Structure 1
Amino acid sequence: MITVLIVDDQPVVRAGLAVVLDAEPDLQVLGQAADGAEAVRLTAQRQPDVVCMDVRMPGMDGITATREITGSGSGAKVLILTTFDIDEDVFAALEAGAAGFLLKGAEESVIADAIRSVAAGAGTLDQRITHKVITEFAHRRGSGHGGAAPELSTLTPRETEVLRLITQGLSNAEIAQSLFVEVTTVKYHVQSILMKTQSRDRLQAAIWGLRQGLTA
C-alpha cells in the first residue's frame, strides 16, 4: 500500500483528490494539509510514501516545504501538482528535490500512476514538458565544464544507452521496446545506473546524464 499526503490550500481540491486516490486499491490517503508548514509537520508525524504538493500557497509555499521535507532525511517523495504550466516553479521544485512534476489537469489515472512511479523511485514529469524541462534544468546546473564525470566511465555501453533514452523522457516500457529487451532487464539497468551515478531517482539520473552530454 502506497501512503499519500495531499497538500493544497483549496479544500475542494484536497477533498476531490482524496476521493480519487482512496478509490485506488493500492493507494491510501493519510492526511491533508492546507499549507507548506502543515505539510512538513504531518510528513514528520505520519511518514507518507508520497506527498502531493501544490506550489503556490499562503504562508510556506510548496517549494520551501519540498526543500524542508527532502532535506530532513524523510523517506517521503514529493510529487508537485500544480495548475501552472512551464515556468520558474518547475525548476525551483527540481532544485528543492521534488521527484516529480505534474499538471493538475492530468487525468485521474495519470495522477495515480505518477504517484506509483514516484513511490517506486522512478520519478515523473508531465509528458508535455519532460524533455524541455530536464534539458533546461541540466543547462542551468551547468555542463561540459571539466569534462565528463568519472561515474560515466563506470557505466556499461548498455547502461549508457538506457540513460540516454531516460534523458529523452522514455518510460521503462518504451525503452524496452526501443532496445528489444524485456522491461525487467531495463529495470535492472536503471537500478544500476542510479547506484553508479548516486542519483536519488530516475529524474535526477536524467538530469545527471544531460549534464554529461548524453543527448538524443
Structure 2
Amino acid sequence: MEEGAGPISAAIVSAHDIVHTGLEGMFATRPGAIEVVPLDLGAPDDQLPDVILYDVFGLHEGDGDDLDRYVKDTDSAVVAMARDLRPDLAARAVAKGVDACVSMATDVDEILEVIRSAVAGDGQPDASGPGAEHGAAYAVLGEEVGLTPRETEILRLLTLGLSNQQIADECFLSINSVKSYIRSAYRRIGVTSRSQAVVWCLQHGFEPPQDEPGMPSAGEPVADV
C-alpha cells in the first residue's frame, strides 16, 4: 500500500471476542494504520477488506473450509494470526495458502509490518526484517528438516491417529500417494515407524491425538506403512 493511501481495511475472523477486542485495541494505538471492518463475502470484490486476519484457532474448532474460501475466493490478503502454544494450527494455515502468518503475542508494529507486506503482495516479511521473528517461525512445522507442506499435513493427520485410508480421503489422494508421502516424511525426520513418527511430531509442536468418532484413540495402534 502506498504512503498516503489511507488506512488498511481489515476484517478480523475469530469466534472469540477477546481476539477482536485485543487486536482492535492494539490497532487503536497506531491511529490511521488499520480500519477494522466487518466481513461480507457477498459484497463486490472492490468492497472486500484489504486483509482478512484469521485466528488460527478456527482450524481447531472447524474443518478449515472457511479459511479455504478466504484464500481461494476473495482478493483480500489473508494473514493467519497464530497462537504460540499451537504452532500446528499456524502450519496448517500456511499449508492452506495464507499470505503471511504472525503471532498474536508479538507487538503491534511487527503485526502491522506483516499485514502491510501481505497487502502489498510481498507475502511474509524478509527473514531479516520486522515481523520475521514471529512470522517466519510458522512457515512449516518440520521446516528445519525439509518437510514440504503436503508432508507436514500428512504427518499432522497421522499424528491425530488417522489411518492411511482416512488420510487419503481427507487429502483427496490415492492410498499409494499417501504411503509415498509418509515414507518420504519418515526419511526427512529420521524415523522408520509410525509410532516413532508420532513421537517426533509431538516433540516438534504437532497437535496431539484426540479421541473423536471414527478416529482411533490415542492409545490404539495403527498399522505402519
TM-score by length of 2: 0.49
- Give, as a single letter, the amino acid of the residue that structure 2 aligns with 1:105: A
Deviations 1:97-120 (A, max 9, x none): 101111111001111121111111
8 Å contact kept, 1:54–1:62? no
Query: Which residue in 1 is equivalent to 2:119?
Result: 119
State the shift of 1:6 in Å: 0.8
Structure 2 residue runs without a partner (length 5+): 1-5, 126-131, 151-225
Query: Which residue in 1 is equivalent to 2:52?
Result: 51
8 Å contact kept, 2:102–2:134? no
- Candidates 4, 9, 16, aligned match of 1:3: 9
Cα gap change, 1:87 to 1:27, in 2 (>3 Å): closer
**Bigger Cα displacement from structure 2, 74-83 vs 50-59:** 50-59
User: Following superposition of structure 1 onto structure 2, how do residues 132-147 of structure 1 map, counting pairs within 5 Å?
Assistant: 133=139, 136=143, 139-141=147-149
Cα gap change, 1:112 to 1:129, in 2 (>3 Å): closer
Structure having the larger proportion of residues in helix: 1
Deviations 1:34-59 (A, max 9, x none): xxxxx6xx244350110111012399
TM-score by length of 1: 0.51
- 4+ residue runs over 4 A deviation: none
Deviations 1:114-152 (A, max 9, x none): 11111111112642562673572963258xxxxxxxxxx
State the shift of 1:82 in Å: 2.1
Cα gap change, 1:68 to 1:60, in 2 (>3 Å): farther
- Determine if the alignment matches structure 1 residue 19 to structure 2 residue 35: no
Max Rg structure: 2
Percentage of matched positions with identical amino acids:
17
User: Following superposition of structure 1 onto structure 2, how do residues 24-35 of structure 1 map, counting pairs within 5 Å?
Assistant: 24-31=31-38
Structure 1 residue runs without a partner (length 5+): 32-38, 143-216
